[in-house]
């Protein structure tokens, strides 16, 4: 029987283990923490289920196979996706992306209409700032995007970010009316079980060897070998989900990431967000970028509500940096990957991806093995 080593037991690692197990491999997952699932794993606080950041499924409605895949593991409840934000300089919540019907309520509505009339949506932007100014004008950009993006990435100017590398609401940066942002295009859902995706991880690794609290001390990727202290393990293939710089012992230097500090607050009210909303974005001077009301995702019933407050930080590695310099560094690392070694997931590819896109990548890799 062929052997497979998987480095990392998050969504990518567990999903890869499931596919390899079904292909007849003897699979071992090595996970540095004390649990599987990474940030997608559900925990509980005062009875309320939560994850580190929201993790709703977003799947192209035309990819029925992917929807069916997740339904094979989980009972899912479909959601709508609407977002409120506090634009810079305004005192109320408004829809995000900005909506044309809100413009008449803004202080600078005449300037906004003039800029929308003069914008050049066909111009090729050189950076994130130019993209947004071309799309919605300078005033709306400063209200909705400028400060938010700078605190999210801890930068002084959005010209530092490459437009084509940023994940943002490019499908429709200025909407005609409020409503479900993904309507008709994206299957948006969340597990109905209160423990969220935990059962998914359990099912994926059934029949797989899992070593938790295990830090790999040395890699010999050419020979498909790893060391844990003095113990050597080898395999026919290795799938890594850790960061590329970590995998190659920082040969080309450290890859840049942004992280999040996460605060949980229980409030003595049944709900704080309007029906149909579960995110609140903050585009002003406050240190946090987003608040998530978890029961609106999980379906948990309680007279109280749990919110998660996300504060950008360098304390963990969650979001690959959207600059060409960092992506080129990651590409150099990828060129070091030998045959029968695969680097997958958000850290393994140094690319922002959600569960659906990671699943697609793994399926493609399995066709090569």
What is the domain-level CATH number for residue 275? 3.90.660
Residues 149 and 95 in one domain: yes
Residues 98 and 166 in one domain: yes
- Give the span between the Cα atoms of 369 and 38, in whole angstroms: 26
Per-residue pLDDT tens over the stretch 218-243? 999 999 999 999 999 999 999 999 99
Report the predicted TM-score, pTM, of the whole model to 2 decimal places.
0.95
- Give the span between the Cα atoms of 339 and 330, in whole angstroms: 18
Q: For residue 186, tell me if it sits in a domain.
A: no
**Domain hosting residue 272, numbered range:** 82-179+257-319
- Give the span between the Cα atoms of 356 and 358, in whole angstroms: 5
Residues 212 and 275 in one domain: no
Q: For residue 187, tell me if it sits in a domain.
A: no
Q: For residue 314, tell me if it sits in a domain.
A: yes
- Give the span between the Cα atoms of 142 and 137, in whole angstroms: 9
Residues 315 and 337 in one domain: no
Per-residue pLDDT tens over the stretch 15-37? 999 999 999 999 999 999 999 99
Please compute Rg for the chain using Cα positions. 22
Q: For residue 22, tell me if it sits in a domain.
A: yes
Residues 169 and 159 in one domain: yes
Residue 168 near residue 322 (C-beta atoms within 8 A): no
Residues 332 and 199 in one domain: yes
Q: For residue 67, tell me if it sits in a domain.
A: no
Nearest of 212, 231, 230, 233 to residue 221 by alpha carbon: 233
Residues 101 and 238 in one domain: no
Per the structure, the count of domains in the chain is 2
Range in 51-60, 115-124, 170-179, 279-288 the model is least confident about: 170-179
Residues 151 and 297 in one domain: yes
Per-residue pLDDT tens over the stretch 285-323? 999 999 999 999 999 999 999 999 999 999 999 999 999
**Matching residue, tokens 């995007």:** 145
Residues 104 and 248 in one domain: no
Residues 236 and 265 in one domain: no
Residues 209 and 306 in one domain: no
* pLDDT confidence tier of residue 120, bands split at 50, 70 and 90: confident
> 304 in the Ramachandran plot: left (φ > 0), alpha (ψ -120 to 50) or beta?
beta
pLDDT, residue 122, reads 83
Q: Is 274 exposed, middle or buried (0-12, 13-18, 19+ CB in 10 A)?
A: exposed
């Amino acid at each position: 029987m062929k052997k497979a080593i998987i480095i990392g037991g998050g969504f990518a690692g567990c999903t890869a283990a499931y596919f390899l197990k079904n292909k007849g491999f003897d699979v071992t997952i090595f996970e540095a923490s004390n649990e599987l699932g990474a940030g997608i794993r559900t925990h509980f606080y005062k009875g309320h289920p939560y994850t580190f950041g929201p993790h709703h499924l977003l799947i192209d409605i035309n990819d029925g196979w992917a929807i069916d895949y997740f339904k094979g593991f989980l009972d899912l409840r479909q959601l709508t996706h609407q977002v409120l934000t506090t634009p810079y300089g305004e005192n109320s919540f408004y829809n995000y992306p900005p909506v044309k019907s809100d413009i008449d309520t803004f202080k600078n509505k005449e300037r906004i209409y003039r800029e929308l009339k003069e914008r050049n949506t066909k111009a090729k932007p050189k950076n994130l700032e130019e993209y947004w100014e071309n799309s919605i004008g300078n005033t709306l950009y400063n209200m909705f995007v400028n400060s938010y993006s700078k605190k999210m990435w801890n930068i002084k100017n959005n010209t530092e970010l490459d437009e084509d590398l940023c994940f943002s609401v490019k499908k429709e940066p200025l909407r005609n009316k409020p409503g479900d942002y993904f309507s008709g295009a994206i299957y948006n859902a969340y597990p109905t079980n209160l423990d969220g995706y935990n059962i998914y991880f359990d099912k994926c690794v059934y029949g797989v060897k899992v070593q938790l609290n295990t830090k790999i001390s040395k890699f010999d990727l050419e020979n498909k070998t790893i060391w844990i202290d003095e113990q050597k393990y080898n395999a026919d293939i290795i799938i890594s989900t850790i960061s590329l710089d970590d995998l190659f012992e920082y040969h080309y230097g450290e890859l840049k990431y942004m992280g999040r500090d996460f605060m949980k607050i229980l409030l003595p009210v049944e709900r704080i967000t309007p029906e149909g909303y579960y995110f609140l974005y903050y585009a002003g001077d406050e240190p946090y970028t987003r608040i998530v009301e978890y029961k609106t995702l999980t379906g948990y019933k309680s007279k109280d509500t749990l919110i998660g407050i996300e504060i950008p930080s360098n304390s963990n590695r969650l979001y690959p940096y959207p600059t060409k310099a960092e992506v080129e560094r990651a590409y150099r690392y990828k060129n070091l990957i030998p045959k029968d070694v695969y680097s997958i997931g958000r850290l393994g590819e140094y690319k922002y991806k959600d569960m659906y896109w990671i699943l697609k990548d793994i399926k493609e890799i399995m066709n090569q093995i």
